[in-house]
């Protein structure tokens, strides 16, 4: 083994294998490993050119004689070895004489280190298990490898981020997470550790991340290299800022994104949608965007309005703009084999291939194949169809659904992209999907770009992605899970996030229990990055199956407007529409901070109060920007709420106006029309005025 300096990086070389350890921006290190003669050049999410840094690199000769041989045989077996150190600001990496890595902060405190269980000469873990920290095992007969990376576990460590998973806990210590996208699951493999570092697994392959009590283990079923990024900081905010510099910052949120979005499954025609918008404005209610959901089209993959139901989209968009409402249109990546675009896209190689079996990927409402969002040509082709049929009519915001993509089934080993086998790169699909629209809109002259996308991976944020949490169930349990999902997405570097208010599946608008859930969720939605109503709303309208030109037409769920759930509830929902409007200047400032520094808009309490140890344990409240502590009511029938108030601030209950010192837990009233909000240090946002 050789350890040497090459330009500004350390290289650990042994046979064909090489490890690169190099600075990658302030206080940050990138580690790559290949078992091939040349390093794979894919940067994946680390596409932002880092600041050129000349680190402090040093080498030290040390005694590596096995203690078993000391004594009379000392001179015979006495050996020397070289260990190296690379220092980049607040992070230092030490390379042992045998090539394993450990990372320290500027105070010399251990952040994390690789997990080695080999019998070696001076490693304190001197056991003959033959378990290495880094493994690239060849997949026989291919140029691909099965990849495993292992790190030591620490009992005091808490782990936050990793994207969106449908589960209870925000702290991922003890969790096993699938590194794959599914409907309502978005794998974004960056986390912030309570030990003072952030870690990004820069690999879009299918795999798992295990945060065990005995070790942390990252696994990819098929890959070409090991690639990860680690950054150190004194606060979670500093860590997020450095990570977002490496993967890209979100743009500034367009003004229409700050207000209220109206949506349902689904407005069936132009007049139905306009009637809702007009009624909203007649009642004097704010609305910034309204969404035209799926199957408004002639055929999946045609990317255009069905002319019988949408006879004059240009006039519709014009009227909505005059009402101050942005039109949002659903796009699916599914191309029906009967679509006018199918033949061209197939001939050009713009569709995802199957390695075996039937080429169809989804058979819902037609036999369809997903277009290949990793292919630059396919990105442009789809955008050009949407530009011709939507953008030229005044539509500039798109709902990019099915962005995982939602294979049925999720047999990742069967799909192949322009970028490579799905096993190696499928998690980049939503990034390419959003990038195609972002690039197209930018080229068309748009300066404020936002796409509502049902998935994300690292780097999605720089393409104006607003992620929502997919087709979730209508229940208080689901609501609790969405809270941790939203906070985890924020800590994973995706600051624009929302959920379907009331849940998507199973909510009956006539059921009092669902009405209570919807009211509680709507109040919480007013304090989310984007405030958006949506849902299936059972039971669906009954209608015999209708076909046009051989295409089955889809029906719709029940009404989903704020006046649809009873007059008493309407008054509560109306109140939160205006609370959101009063908060618009504050939310605008939060969005600017996200664009400037990568700060999550909604974040755990410890983000703003890292010195308060108790704040790291709170999972049922969060900070909405720097000044508002929000505690959603997530239990049926609850009319009060316990809240932990972080130490280091005074807190005013926005509802009762009572002032509390931080560092304590209080119980506050939470009637049905109130979501408890605590305001920091005497500021006044007029929430319940």
Q: How many CB atoms sit inside 10 A of residue 524's CB?
A: 23
Return d(Cα 80, Cα 82) in angstroms, integer: 7
DSSP E strand boundaries for 106-180: 110-113, 134-138, 145-152, 159-164, 176-179
Exactly one of 113, 132, 227, 401 is catalytic; which is it?
401
Query: What is the C-alpha separation between 339 and 373, in angstroms, rounded?
Result: 18
The one-character DSSP state at 199 is E
- Its sign, for the CA torsion 661, 664, 669, 673, is positive
- Which H/E stretch holds residue 242? helix 236-247
Closest by Cα among 145, 157, 217, 219 to 193: 157
In the set 241, 404, 500, 536, the catalytic residue is: 404
Query: In the annotation, is 439 catalytic?
Result: no
Distance (Å, whole) CA 483 – CA 528: 10
Q: How far is CA 401 from the centre of its chain?
A: 15
Q: Strands 451-453 and 397-400, how do they pair? A: parallel
Which value, in Å, is the radius of gyration of the alpha carbons in the chain? 27
**Annotation marks residue 471 as catalytic:** yes
Angstrom distance (rounded) from CA 17 to CA 94? 19
Nearest C-alpha neighbor of 277 from the set 256, 265, 291: 291
Q: How many CB atoms lie within 10 A of CB 103?
A: 22
β-bridge partners, 532: 261
Query: Rounded to an integer, what distance in angstroms lies between the CA atom of residue 340 and that of residue 551?
Result: 13
Q: How many CB atoms lie within 10 A of CB 67?
A: 9
Cβ pair 496, 253 in contact under 8 A: yes
What is the spatial distance between Cα 387 and Cα 667, in angstroms, rounded to a whole number? 53
Of 515, 504, 485, nearest to 637 by C-alpha is 515
Closest CA to 483 of 624, 670, 647: 624
Cα→Cα distances 343→338, 417, 478, Å: 9, 18, 41
Determine how many CB atoms are found less than 10 A away from the CB of residue 686: 10
The Cα–Cα gap between 24 and 341 comes to 43
3-class SS letters over 539-592: CCCCCCCEEECCEEECCCCCCCCCCCCCHHHHHHHHHHHHHHHHCHHHHHHHHH
646: Cα separation from own chain's centroid:
26
State the catalytic residue, choosing from 302, 471, 481, 608.
471
| Whole-angstrom distance, CA of residue 345 vs CA of residue 490 | 36
* Residue 657, C-beta contacts closer than 8 angstroms, at least 6 positions apart: none
Q: Is the peptide bond before 673 cis (omega within 30 degrees of 0)?
A: no
Measured between alpha carbons, how far is residue 396 from residues 253, 636, 642 in Å? 14, 39, 43
How far, in whole angstroms, is CA 1 from its chain's centroid? 39
For residues 674 and 655, is the Cβ–Cβ distance under 8 A? yes
Is residue 347 annotated as a catalytic residue, yes or no?
no
- Catalytic site positions: 401, 404, 471
């Amino acid at each position: 083994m050789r350890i040497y300096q090459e330009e500004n990086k350390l290289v650990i070389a042994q046979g064909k294998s090489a490890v690169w350890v190099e600075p990658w921006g302030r206080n940050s290190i990138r580690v790559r490993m290949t078992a091939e003669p040349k390093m794979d050049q894919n940067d994946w999410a680390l596409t932002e050119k880092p600041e050129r840094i000349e680190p402090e690199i040093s080498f030290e000769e040390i005694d590596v004689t096995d203690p078993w041989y000391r004594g009379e045989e000392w001179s015979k077996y006495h050996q020397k070895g070289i260990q190296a150190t690379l220092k980049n600001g607040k992070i230092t990496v030490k390379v042992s004489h045998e090539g394993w890595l450990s990372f320290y902060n500027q105070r010399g405190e251990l952040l994390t280190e690789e997990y080695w269980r080999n019998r070696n000469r001076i490693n304190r873990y001197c056991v003959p298990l033959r378990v290495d920290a880094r493994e690239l095992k060849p997949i026989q007969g291919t140029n691909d490898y099965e990849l495993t990376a292992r790190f030591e576990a620490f009992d005091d460590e808490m782990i936050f981020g990793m994207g969106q998973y449908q589960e209870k806990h925000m702290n991922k210590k003890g969790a096993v997470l699938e590194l794959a996208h599914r409907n309502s699951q978005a794998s974004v493999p960056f986390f912030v550790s309570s030990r003072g570092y952030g870690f990004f697994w820069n690999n879009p392959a299918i795999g798992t991340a295990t945060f065990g009590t005995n070790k942390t283990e990252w696994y990819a079923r098929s890959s070409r290299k090991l690639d990860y990024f680690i950054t150190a900081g004194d606060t979670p905010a500093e860590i997020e800022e450095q990570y977002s510099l490496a993967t890209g910052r979100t743009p500034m949120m367009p003004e229409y994104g700050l207000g209220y979005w109206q949506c349902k499954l689904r407005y069936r025609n132009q007049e139905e949608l306009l009637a809702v918008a007009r009624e909203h404005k007649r009642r004097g209610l704010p609305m910034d965007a309204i969404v035209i959901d799926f199957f408004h089209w002639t055929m999946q993959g045609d990317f255009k309005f069905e002319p019988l139901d949408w006879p004059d989209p240009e006039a519709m968009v014009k009227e909505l703009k005059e009402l101050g409402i942005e039109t949002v249109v659903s796009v699916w990546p599914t191309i029906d084999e009967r679509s006018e675009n199918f033949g061209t896209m197939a001939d050009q190689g713009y569709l995802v291939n199957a390695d075996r079996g039937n080429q169809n990927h989804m058979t819902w409402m037609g036999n369809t194949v997903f277009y290949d969002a990793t292919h630059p040509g396919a990105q442009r082709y789809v955008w050009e169809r949407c530009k011709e049929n939507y953008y030229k009519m005044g539509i500039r915001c798109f709902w990019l659904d099915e962005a995982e993509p939602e294979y049925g089934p999720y047999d990742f080993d069967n799909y192949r992209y322009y970028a490579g086998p799905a096993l190696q790169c499928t998690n980049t699909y939503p990034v390419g999907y959003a990038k195609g629209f972002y690039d197209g809109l930018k080229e068309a002259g748009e300066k404020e770009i936002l796409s509502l996308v049902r998935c994300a991976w690292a780097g999605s944020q720089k393409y104006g992605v607003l992620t929502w949490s997919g087709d979730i169930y209508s229940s208080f349990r689901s609501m609790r899970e969405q809270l941790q999902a939203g906070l985890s997405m924020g800590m994973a570097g995706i600051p624009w996030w929302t959920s379907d208010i009331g849940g998507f599946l199973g909510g009956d608008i006539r059921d009092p229990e669902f009405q209570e859930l919807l009211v509680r969720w709507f109040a919480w939605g007013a304090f989310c990055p984007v405030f958006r109503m949506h849902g299936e709303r059972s039971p669906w309208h009954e209608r015999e199956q209708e076909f046009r030109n051989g295409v089955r037409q889809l029906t719709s769920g029940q009404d989903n407007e704020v006046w649809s759930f009873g007059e008493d509830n309407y008054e509560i929902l109306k109140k939160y529409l205006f609370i959101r409007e009063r908060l618009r200047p504050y939310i605008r400032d939060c969005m600017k901070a996200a664009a400037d520094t990568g700060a999550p808009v909604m974040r755990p309490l410890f983000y703003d109060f890292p010195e308060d140890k108790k704040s790291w344990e709170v999972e049922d409240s969060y900070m909405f920007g720097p000044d508002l502590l929000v505690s959603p009511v997530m239990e049926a029938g609850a009319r009060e709420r316990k809240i932990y108030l972080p130490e280091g601030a005074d807190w005013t209950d926005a509802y009762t106006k009572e002032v509390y010192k931080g560092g304590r837990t209080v119980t506050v009233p939470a009637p049905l029309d109130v979501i408890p909000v605590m305001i920091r240090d005497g500021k006044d946002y007029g929430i319940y005025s």
